Amino acid sequence: MRRAACLAFCAALSAGPALAEIPDHTIRIGVLNDGSGPFADQSGKGSVVAAQLAADDFMREAPGLKVEILYGDHQNKPDVGSAIVREWLDRDGVAAVTDAVNSGVALAINGVIADKHRTFLGANVGTSDLTGKFCRPTTVQWTFDTWAFGNAAAQALKDVGAKSVYFISFDYALGAALERDTTAAFKALGGTVSGSVKHPLGATDFSSYLLQAQGSGAEAVAFADTGTALVDGVKQAAEFGVSPAQRLTGLLTEIVDVHAIGLPLAQGLLLTEAYYWDRDDASRAFAKRFAEKVPSRVPTENQAGVYSAVLAYLRAAKAADTIDGEAVVDEMKRAPIADALFGTVTVRADGRAIHPMYVYRVKTPAESHGEWDLYSPVATIPADRAFRPLADGGCPLAK
């Protein structure tokens, strides 16, 4: 009788859910990024607003679940970022970490989160290595990566007739990956690289770098950096006469960067983005909601990426009824995601979320009809060509 009772009890257990329910019906998400440094305008507190908008939308869909948003400033230091994440996971019960924005920080926390079986939503991590050789079954890379930017920039430069390029690059993980991936794509199209120079994070004087770019004779100059470095570099390029003599492209350029440069100096700059606030009705609707929380601003692609990645994660956690990282990411990979801001999004085996990307040209002052009317569309890159082929990244999960 005892054996029969045990068999019946065990059978009942096996028939139920394989994973524990969401603890206390509460999901905590940590937004980790640069709060006061060179990437603060791109992400910063605006990403917290975007995450909260996603949480609010989800809680209306799932009134039985509560979502709490935490914030941490990693100061662009991998050790600081890792310490914040460990505390969140061990003390605060955080289920997922999003944004990151700094590639060095992202690579540092990627393994920490995987070891704790929680989820890393690398919504704004540039390096394509995150879903390449450093891929994890608990990681999703959402908005963009260096391969996507390099692929788009190489094609855009070829289309405007540039046959050679010179790089001015960050001297850390993001710059190295942007230069590497753009070089490979540009050479594959028959272009040549005339040289490159690296600068530290926080550099403000680009005179020596720009003189080297001028002396290279390259037809185009590619900035393999972003944030305040890109802003200073493009401004000084115009002052030194580098542009328009040499065509400029920003490999990771966001709308707040162009706004800070101003159309008189930024006009003609080629760039690639995953989201632009004025692209369609859905992007404009989100921009209106965002502006209600952050007046006189439009959302960047980083902030849009946080919104979309967090909302997709929450829906997957609800469907899986767990915060186990592997299970939630598996749920995200199960079927294409209908996303209002990025279109149809598919999360591949390597954790790369694929969707269309867009090439833009910065407008002239005469073409612009408002403070944030900054881009003219150049090309749309379909999802199946926008990101690195699954087999080429070196991710063990892809095999």
* pLDDT, tens digit, 9 for 90 and up, residues 316-345: 999 999 999 999 999 999 999 999 999 999
- Both tokens assigned to 141: 């890379």
Instruction: Give the strand order in the sheet containing 96-99.
Output: 66-73, 26-33, 96-99, 119-122, 139-141
Same-domain status, 180 and 76:
no
Same-domain status, 348 and 333:
yes
Mean pLDDT confidence for 8-28: 61
- Report the predicted TM-score, pTM, of the whole model to 2 decimal places: 0.93
- CATH number of the domain enclosing 233: 3.40.50.2300
- The 10 Å Cβ neighbour count of residue 70 is 17
Band the pLDDT of 259: cuts 50, 70, 90. Answer: very high
Instruction: Give the strand order in the sheet containing 220-224.
Output: 192-199, 164-170, 220-224, 247-250, 270-273, 357-362, 375-381
Same-domain status, 366 and 253:
yes
Same-domain status, 227 and 107:
no
Same-domain status, 213 and 137:
no
Same-domain status, 138 and 153:
no
Residue 1 within a domain: no
Q: What is the b/e burial string over 159-181, where b = at least 16 CB atoms within 10 angstroms of the residue's CB?
A: eeebebbbbbbbebbbbbbbbbb
Same-domain status, 94 and 172:
no
Pairing verdict, β 66-73 and 26-33: parallel
Predicted confidence (pLDDT) per residue in 111-167, tens digit: 999 999 999 999 999 999 999 999 999 999 999 999 999 999 999 999 999 999 999
Domain that holds residue 341: 25-144+279-355
Residue 333 within a domain: yes
